[in-house]
Amino acid sequence: MSNFFAAAEEVERGEKETRSLCCCEYIGHDKKRFHILGCCCNCEDFDLVCTRFICCKSIERRNLDNMLIAFQDRLRLPWRGGAKRISPAALAPALIIPLMICLAALNSKTAIVLMLTLIGFTCWGLQVAEGTATKTSFFRSWIVFSVFYMVIIFESAVPLLELLPEENYLLLSLSIGALYMLYRVQKLASLDLVTTQYGNTPRDELPGITEASSGEEQAEQQAHEAVTLMADTVLGIEDDEDENEDANLMQHSQPNICEICRKVTPRRAYHCVICGSCVKRRSHHSFWLNCCIGERNYRCYLLALVLSECALLLGANLTLTAVCHPFLVVRLLGIPLLLPDDCSEVFEDFELGISFVVAAYALLISGYITFVLLRQLYLWWRGTTLHEYKRISTPNGNRNRVWSNWRAILK
């Protein structure tokens, strides 16, 4: 009991220290109070590393690790209630994106090489993050800084491009709406997490309930999904009504227990190794938003994709028809629809080249969003989620019921 009161007093003392911090102060990793202006002071490991480097002596791994930890801990932004730590991964896009845009604006060959490199780097980064189940803010920061730089460049080029005020207001409205929906997706993501026991079954009465270590979660999830997939393949019933009846019987006969986090979860809730919790009606983990897409934020996610697609296509069209030679396609309700015809002269001027590169970058992002949106609409039409679709998408399993039905008819 005394340990409990001691821990409570320590927590209360830590909260008081946090409330007394000014906007430029913070509590470091060694539980001491620091000021961001002293970020280069009182770092013994940094002094030792520099001394050994100048003296051409071997640098100990421990000193190097402690120096990097100190650098990462002191990289902070002044904020109310204490300086907030900034992740180096979140800060990297702020330097990479403008450098990429400026280099791509030099000539067409550089632009093509950088765009292809960006596609390859993005695919590789997503594969690494998904394979290692890493929760990173790099991709979310990439979205934020991409939108920031595209808006800054577009608005600075509006007087040069001589766009109509109505077109500019429409683009800003779509952009603000998309950003607000993305913000709502992140806010509602926490409501999809299963943080407590679902239902009335006490935790002590559940069979074999023990805490799993973090290293076992990913292996247990793969094994659990493999067993579930095998059971679905062997015991699969072609009639949807029979499947619903069997599911209802199983739901009422025994609780749905997650074998990874050892919790009683609602139906169609799946565990996310990255978030470390079960998610209600989990679709997938979005690395671009650094959260899971589930039951509560799915509609906002679809609306954010639609608004983002409209904003990117409109901005790219307005920019390309201004810097290139446009031609009239059709006139709808008195509004002319233009498309770019010849863009061979855009790289002769650096400002026009930057505008062209930003428009091409927007089209590249819109192409990816189109693929994601069409996939989500297809899954919504089938009444399933991306997580459930991937579970049955194996070479030996039943990939989808539509193909199975057509194959049965052709036989």
Each residue's pLDDT tens digit in the chain (411 positions)?
A: 445 445 545 544 554 555 566 665 656 656 666 655 555 666 677 778 888 888 888 888 888 888 777 777 777 777 776 667 777 888 889 999 999 999 999 988 999 999 999 999 999 999 998 888 888 889 999 999 999 999 888 888 765 666 778 888 899 999 999 999 999 999 999 888 887 655 544 444 444 444 444 444 555 555 555 544 444 443 333 334 444 444 443 444 456 777 787 778 788 888 888 888 889 888 999 999 999 999 899 999 999 999 999 999 999 998 888 888 887 877 777 777 778 888 888 888 888 889 899 999 999 999 999 999 999 999 989 888 888 888 876 544 444 555 554 455 444
Give yes or no: residues 370 and 304 share one domain: yes
Of 85, 114, 132, the position where a domain reaches its end is: 85
Residue 271 — φ and ψ, nearest 5°?
Answer: -85, 140
Q: Is residue 206 part of a domain?
A: no
Find tokens 């929906």 and name the residue. Answer: 181
Q: Is 254 a member of any domain?
A: no
pLDDT of the residue at 199:
54
Domain that holds residue 42: 20-85
The DSSP code for 205 is G
Helices 44-54, 61-74: inter-axial angle, 10-degree rounding: 130
pLDDT digits (tens, 9 = 90+) for 301-348: 999 999 999 999 999 998 888 888 887 877 777 777 778 888 888 888
The verdict on 111 and 47 lying in the same domain is: no
- Looking at the structure of the chain, the number of domains it has is 2
- Cα–Cα distance for residue pair 198/201, rounded to 1 Å: 8
What's the Cα-to-Cα distance from 17 to each of 86, 326, 387, rounded to whole Å?
21, 62, 43
Structural contact between residues 283 and 387, judged by C-beta atoms closer than 8 angstroms = yes
CB neighbours of 83 closer than 8 A, spacing ≥ 6? Answer: 21, 23, 24, 25, 26, 36, 76, 77
pLDDT of residue 38: 59
Statement to judge: residues 69 and 184 lie in one domain: no
CA separation for the pair 141, 290 (Å, rounded) = 10
Q: How many CA atoms lie within 13 A of 280 on its CB side?
A: 16
Which of 64, 85, 106 is the last residue before a domain boundary?
85
The predicted structure's pLDDT at residue 21: 65
279 in a structural domain: no
The rounded distance, in Å, linking the Cα atoms of 174 and 163 is 16
Q: Are residues 67 and 24 both part of a single domain?
A: yes
In a domain, 378, yes or no: yes
* 116, 73: one domain: no
Is residue 7 a part of any domain in this protein? no
* β partners of residue 257: 264
pLDDT at 69: 78
Predicted TM-score (pTM) of the model is 0.71
In a domain, 269, yes or no: no
Cα(305)–Cα(103) distance, integer angstroms: 29
Residue 208 has a pLDDT of: 44
Q: Are residues 187 and 302 in the same domain?
A: yes
- Establish if 12 belongs to a structural domain: no
Q: Where among 57, 85, 113 does a domain terminate?
A: 85
Q: Is residue 102 located within the same domain as residue 157? A: yes
238 domain-assigned: no
Say if residue 311 is in the same domain as residue 390. Answer: yes
Q: 53 with 167, same domain?
A: no
Q: In what order do the strands lie in the sheet with 277-280?
A: 193-194, 277-280, 269-272
Residues 70 and 103 in one domain: no
Nearest to 182 by CA among 150, 138, 151, 147: 147
Do 184 and 315 lie in one domain? The reply is yes
Q: Residues 6 or more apart from 342 whose CB is under 8 A from it?
A: 324, 325
Determine the residue type at 212. Answer: A
Do 139 and 68 lie in one domain? The reply is no
